[in-house]
Amino acid sequence: MDEQQLEQMYSFFTDEGYNVGDMENFRTALSDDNRRKQMYDFFTSEGYNVGNFDNFVYRAPRPVVETRQPLTADWQTPPVR
C-alpha cells in the first residue's frame, strides 16, 4: 500500500477505537513481516476485510535521485573580466 492508503487505514482503525500506536509505529508494523502477520490475522479475525496478506504491507516510496546532465563540448566557461 502507498502512503495515502496507509493513512486511511490508520485513521479507520484508530476511529474504530483500536490502539495501533502512533502513525510511525503503524507504518513500521506494516513494514515488518512478523508484526504485519499478527495485525493481519487480528483484523481479519475481527471481521475486517483488509485484502490479501501480500497487499497488506507498507512499501516506503523510493527516494528521488537527482540526475545531472554531463557537460557537453559546447559548454564554455564565461569570460573573465
| Residues 39-58 pLDDT 10s | 999 999 999 998 999 988 88
Q: CA–CA separation, 40 vs 49, rounded Å? A: 10
Query: So where are the chain's domains?
Result: 3-55
pLDDT of the residue at 2? 86
Given a contact cutoff of 8 angstroms between Cβ atoms, the answer to whether 51 and 58 are in contact is no
pLDDT beyond 70 at 76: no
| Residues 14-32 pLDDT 10s | 999 999 999 999 999 988 9
Provide long-range contacts, Cβ within 8 A and 24+ apart, for 5-11.
6/30, 6/58, 9/50
pLDDT beyond 70 at 71: no
pLDDT of the residue at 63? 75
pLDDT of the residue at 75? 58
